[in-house]
Amino acid sequence: DAGVIQSPRHEVTEMGQEVTLRCKPISGHDYLFWYRQTMMRGLELLIYFNNNVPIDDSGMPEDRFSAKMPNASFSTLKIQPSEPRDSAVYFCASSLSMGWNDEQYFGPGTRLTVT
């Protein structure tokens, strides 16, 4: 398996623009997670899905952020409008649903810079 795939790997955009990050989880994994990583706050969970359904979005910072999972092999995280404080590395991860103790497999991340 190719692992979790994220695109783009790098994104530079201007404040106010819409940004869409994409993720393809590992085939057969039922859980999908979106994280944001910054030097100050470390790795923070934004939202996660189970069988394409959003389960917990309490980590989404504000209404400018939205996430969708239209099918088992694709998810998007959208920021509209983007702001400089959104600059971070965004990771997507997936895991199996064999139990509550399964490790999460992370993608390579998308480095977002908002100027």
Partner 1 sequence: EDQVTQSPEALRLQEGESSSLNCSYTVSGLRGLFWYRQDPGKGPEFLFTLYSAGEEKEKERLKATLTKKESFLHITAPKPEDSATYLCAVQGLTGGGNKLTFGTGTQLKVEL
Provide the greatest CA pair distance for the chain.
42
Residue from 46, 48, 75, 112 binding partner 1 (CB under 8 A)? 48
Task: Build a one-symbol-per-residue string for 79-108: x at contacts with partner 1 by CB under 8 A, - elsewhere.
Answer: ------------x-x-x-x--xxxxxxxxx
The CA distance from 69 to 72, in Å, is 7
Residue (52 or 104) nearer to partner 1, CB? 104
> Is residue 68 classed exposed, middle or buried when 0-12, 13-18 and 19+ CB atoms within 10 A define those classes?
middle
Closest CA to 33 of 108, 106, 97, 88: 106
Q: Is 55 in the site for partner 1 (CB under 8 A)?
A: yes
Q: Which residues bind partner 1 (CB under 8 A)?
A: 4, 31, 33, 41-45, 48, 50, 55-56, 91, 93, 95, 97, 100-109
